[in-house]
């Protein structure tokens, strides 16, 4: 049975029957399936198996993957699981468990190929061969370490393989290395991989001692996961952390209701603000007609700006210290965008007046109110949408909190105040007292 088919069947097995289904597979298929599961699926499967089977499957995993599984298991069950492993493995694992799951230290594998700088190439190849037999996970790079485990250089396996056999390793190794610190965030690691087209990045401590390597196959998932989290936060909810259909109804409502309620309470300020302008609305109902149009334009412009800045920050294209450059730029862009919408808005008032006499004798003043409000509100929406994510980062929050609905809500309230104040100014003595 080919891999893809097992995977599809598995997805259709009800959660409660998965352990039974797994037990009934022959070893070859079970292995293929197990290697394809993610850490949380592996953890729940293992918890349903008996002790001997658990050991078998845990030992099959590379230390970094095993560490992920253990982090998915309730704290009190972890020691039992760790004790199933042999001594060396346990040491590796404990080292990994000391790091958070989402930093380089927590993603790295201690199984890399290493050689000494003073070896000849032929000797180094034999040495790597021995390590390959000994279950070294990744062989595409060979790391050259000094006596103190300090990282001196690196060769791709191909470079080692094709170098003259009598050459000294330190003469053929590359010394210009991209490395990561143990506490480097996985998102940043993702950019490092994307930027330098590397297959593995060595992790070193302050004193350049080699701690392990992070391999690119563990990072593709990360890049995808981080983007999913950001997208969901930008949509105005908590990140789901699991595929859509795997989230229960209650949890789904909880993940969405929180932000929805916060936004709702924030948006209540519009009701208060409008109550304040109640008399103006009563004497010029026409003001209410344009209200949704004007405040939503500010929200849309703000959504664009915040989305752009949040993504640019996530990709490292924009840093908090660039705020002034961004502010200047978005000021101009916001003004131009506002002007475009203002012209269309004004034309709409003039056209409707011409066609239906919709706005009475003061239509020009109404048009002017709409025109000026659109410039003001779009400009304000753009600037606040662009700067809010940077403020949030500065205050220690995730910039993606400045979601599209969040910015829209904020700009609704302030946009409403801008609109009514411009109306008071322009319509004073005509439609308004």
- Residue ranges in 232-291 that form contacts with its own copies under rule CB under 8 A: 232, 234-237, 240, 243-245, 249, 252-253, 256-257, 259-261, 263-265, 267-268, 270-271, 274-275, 278, 281-282, 285, 288-291
What DSSP string describes 287-340? HHHHHHHHHHHHHHHHHHHHHHHHHHHHTTSS-GGGHHHHHHHHHHHHHHHHHH
Comparing CB distances to its own copies, the nearer of 210 and 349 is 349
User: Which stretch in 47-55, 83-91, 339-347, 421-429 sits in contact with its own copies by CB under 8 A?
Assistant: 339-347
List own/partner pairs for 347-354 with CB under 8 A and 24 or more apart: none
3 binds its own copies (CB under 8 A): yes
Q: Which residue in 312, 350, 364, 424 binds its own copies (CB under 8 A)?
A: 312
What is the DSSP code (8-state) at residue 205? -
Give the side-chain half-sphere CA count within 13 A for 166.
0
Instruction: Work out how close the CB of 340 gets to its own copies at its nearest, in angstroms, rounded to a whole number.
Output: 5
Cα–Cα dist 364/356, whole Å: 15
* CA 138 distance to own-chain centroid: 27
Smaller CB separation from its own copies, 97 or 222: 222
User: Which 348-367 residues touch its own copies, going by CB under 8 A?
Assistant: 348, 358
The least CB distance from residue 79 to its own copies, in Å, is 28
- Give Cα separations from 99 to 41, 126, 151 (angstroms): 21, 34, 21
Nearer to its own copies, 13 or 265 (CB): 265
Site residues for its own copies, window 32-91 (CB under 8 A)?
32, 35-36
Q: Return phi, psi of residue 214, to 5°.
A: -105, 130
Contact 101, 119 (CB under 8 A): no
Pick one of 13, 98, 336, 425: the residue that binds its own copies (CB under 8 A): 336
Q: Pick the binder of its own copies from 60, 98, 164, 344 (CB under 8 A).
A: 344
Among 186, 384, 409, 414, binds its own copies (CB under 8 A): 409
Q: Which is nearer to its own copies, 87 or 196 (CB)?
A: 196
Tell me the two tokens of residue 109.
């594998």
User: Binders of its own copies: how many residues, by CB under 8 A?
Assistant: 114
The footprint of its own copies on residues 125-184 (CB under 8 A) is 129, 132-133, 136, 139-140, 157-158, 161-162, 176, 178
294 vs 73, 336, 369, 413, CA distance in Å? 51, 16, 11, 11
Closer CB to its own copies, residue 49 or residue 358? Answer: 358
- Number of Cβ within a 10 Å radius of residue 394: 11
């Amino acid at each position: 049975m080919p891999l893809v088919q097992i995977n599809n069947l598995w997805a259709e097995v009800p959660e409660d029957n998965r352990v039974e289904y797994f037990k009934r597979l022959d070893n070859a298929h079970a292995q293929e399936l197990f290697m394809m599961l993610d850490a949380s699926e592996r953890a729940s499967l293992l918890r349903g198996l008996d002790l001997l089977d658990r050991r078998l499957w845990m030992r099959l995993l590379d230390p970094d993957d095993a560490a992920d599984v253990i982090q998915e298991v309730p704290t009190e069950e972890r020691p039992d699981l760790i004790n199933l492993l042999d001594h060396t493995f346990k040491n590796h694992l404990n080292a990994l468990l000391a790091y958070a799951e989402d930093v380089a230290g927590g993603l790295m594998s201690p199984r890399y190929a290493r050689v000494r700088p003073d070896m000849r190439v032929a000797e180094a190849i034999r040495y790597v061969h021995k390590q390959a037999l000994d279950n070294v996970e990744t062989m595409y790079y060979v790391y050259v370490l000094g006596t103190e485990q300090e990282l001196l250089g690196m060769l791709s396996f191909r470079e080692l393989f094709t170098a003259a056999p009598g050459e000294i390793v330190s003469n053929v190794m590359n010394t210009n290395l991209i490395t990561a610190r143990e506490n480097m965030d996985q998102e940043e690691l993702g950019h490092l991989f994307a930027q330098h087209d590397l297959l593995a990045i060595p992790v070193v401590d302050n004193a350049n001692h080699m701690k392990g390597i992070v391999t690119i196959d563990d990072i593709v998932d990360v890049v995808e996961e981080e983007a999913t989290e950001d997208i969901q936060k930008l949509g105005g909810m908590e990140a789901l952390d699991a595929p859509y259909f795997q989230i229960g109804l209650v949890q789904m409502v909880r993940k969405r209701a929180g932000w929805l309620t916060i936004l709702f309470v924030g948006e209540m300020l519009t009701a208060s603000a409008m109550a304040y302008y109640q008399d103006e609305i009563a004497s010029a109902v026409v003001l209410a007609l344009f209200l949704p149009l004007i405040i939503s334009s500010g929200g849309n412009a703000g959504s664009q700006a915040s989305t752009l800045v949040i993504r640019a920050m996530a990709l490292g294209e924009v840093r908090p210290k660039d705020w002034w450059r961004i502010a200047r730029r978005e000021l101009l862009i916001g003004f131009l965008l506002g002007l475009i919408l203002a012209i269309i808005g004004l034309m709409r008032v003039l056209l409707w007046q011409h066609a239906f006499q919709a706005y009475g004798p003061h239509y020009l003043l109404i048009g002017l109110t709409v025109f000026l409000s659109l410039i003001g509100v779009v400009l304000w929406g753009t600037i606040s949408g662009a700067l809010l994510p940077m403020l949030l980062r500065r205050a220690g929050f995730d910039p993606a909190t400045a979601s599209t609905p969040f910015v829209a809500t904020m700009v609704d309230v302030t946009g409403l105040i801008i609109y009514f104040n411009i109306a008071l100014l322009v319509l004073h003595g005509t439609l308004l007292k």
